[in-house]
Amino acid sequence: MKHFRSLHDVKDIKALIRRAITIKRHALRNEALGRGKTLGLMFMNPSLRTRMSTQIAAANLGMQVAVLNAGRESWALEFNDEAVMDGEAVEHVREAAAVLGEYCDIIGLRSFAGLTDRAADYAETMQSAFVQNCSIPLLSLESATRHPLQSLADAMTIEEYATKLRPKVVLSWAPHPRALPQAVANSFAEWMGALDADLWITQPEGFDLATSFSSRARVCYDQDEALKDADFVYVKNWSSYDDYGQRGSGLDDWQISRQKMALTNDARLMHCLPVRRNVVVESALLDGPSSLVIPQAANRVYAAQAVLETMLTEMM
Ligand code: CP
Please report the domains of the chain, with CATH numbers, ordered by start residue: 7-146+300-315 (3.40.50.1370), 150-296 (3.40.50.1370)
Spatial separation of the C-alpha atoms in residues 255 and 282, rounded to whole Å: 7
H/E element, 308: helix 293-315
**DSSP β-ladder status, 77-78 and 91-92:** parallel
> Among 44, 45, 50, 186, which is best to mutate for testing ligand 1, by the most ligand atoms less than 8 A from CB?
50
Q: Which atom of ligand 1 is nearest to the CA of 110?
A: 8
274 alpha carbon – ligand 1 mean position (Å):
7
Q: Is the CB of 141 under 6 A from ligand 1?
A: no
81 alpha carbon – ligand 1 mean position (Å):
30
Contact 3, 72 (CB under 8 A): no
Spatial separation of the C-alpha atoms in residues 314 and 3, rounded to whole Å: 11
Contact 14, 105 (CB under 8 A): no
Spatial separation of the C-alpha atoms in residues 58 and 90, rounded to whole Å: 30
Question: Using CA atoms in the order 230, 235, 237, 242, what is the torsion angle rounded to 10 degrees?
Answer: -30
Amino acid at site 181: P
Q: Is the CB of 85 under 6 A from ligand 1?
A: no
Q: Is the CB of 272 under 6 A from ligand 1?
A: yes
Amino acid at site 88: E
Tens of each residue's pLDDT in the chain, 316 residues: 899 999 999 999 999 999 999 999 999 999 999 999 999 999 999 999 999 999 999 999 999 999 999 877 889 999 999 999 999 999 999 999 999 999 999 999 999 999 999 999 999 999 999 999 999 999 999 999 999 999 999 999 999 999 999 999 999 999 999 999 999 999 999 999 999 999 999 999 999 999 999 999 999 999 999 999 999 999 999 999 999 999 999 999 999 999 999 999 999 999 999 999 999 999 999 999 999 999 999 999 999 999 999 999 999 8
CB atoms within 10 A of CB 216: 14
Which residues, 6 or more positions from 48, have their beta carbon under 8 angstroms from its beta carbon? 273, 274
Model pTM greater than 0.75?
A: yes
Q: Which atom of ligand 1 is nearest to the CA of 297?
A: 1
Contact 230, 170 (CB under 8 A): yes
